[in-house]
């Protein structure tokens, strides 16, 4: 009985290894451009491009610098080809009023809701107790 047990365990391990999915080898894609430029005030620009047509650009600027309302306002876009061979491009803005995406795959209703929400009044900050 104990002599058969190691053979049984080995057979189970081999069977499990055969059942594991094998991921197909992915093609290496060359990076054509990858740049980040940082600004002294905290803003930046970032750009990326790959040989398969994938691209990304983002620019962040500091608004209301030096005040309590100081924030980053970001504008950007990215582009890629989906599994069906269609080019997908998305643009976005982001900042203290939220994230607003728009593009070929973004449902226009989502963009409209995000656009409207950024104009809603923000709740006032409550004062700390004891002040």
15-24, 55-64, 96-105, 118-127: segment of lowest average pLDDT: 118-127
Single pTM value for the model: 0.65
Nearest to 69 by CA among 128, 131, 126, 125: 125
Nearest to 100 by CA among 71, 76, 69: 76
Helix (H) or strand (E) holding 81: strand 71-81
Cβ neighbourhood burial of 85 (10 Å; 0-12, 13-18, 19+): exposed
pLDDT at 72: 93
The residue ranges of every structural domain in the chain are 31-117
DSSP helix, strand, coil percent of the chain (3-state; round to 5): 20, 40, 40
């Amino acid at each position: 009985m104990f002599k058969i047990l190691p053979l049984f365990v080995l057979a189970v391990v081999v069977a499990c290894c055969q059942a594991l999915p094998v991921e197909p080898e992915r093609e290496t894609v060359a990076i054509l451009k990858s740049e980040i430029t940082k600004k002294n005030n905290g803003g930046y620009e970032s750009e990326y491009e790959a040989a398969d047509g994938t691209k990304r650009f983002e620019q962040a600027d500091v608004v209301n610098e030096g005040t309590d309302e100081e924030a980053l306002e970001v504008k950007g876009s990215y582009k890629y080809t989906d599994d069906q061979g269609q080019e997908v491009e998305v643009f976005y803005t982001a900042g203290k009023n939220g994230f607003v995406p728009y593009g070929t795959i973004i449902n226009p209703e989502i963009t409209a809701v995000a656009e409207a929400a950024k104009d809603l009044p923000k709740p006032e900050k409550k004062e700390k107790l004891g002040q």
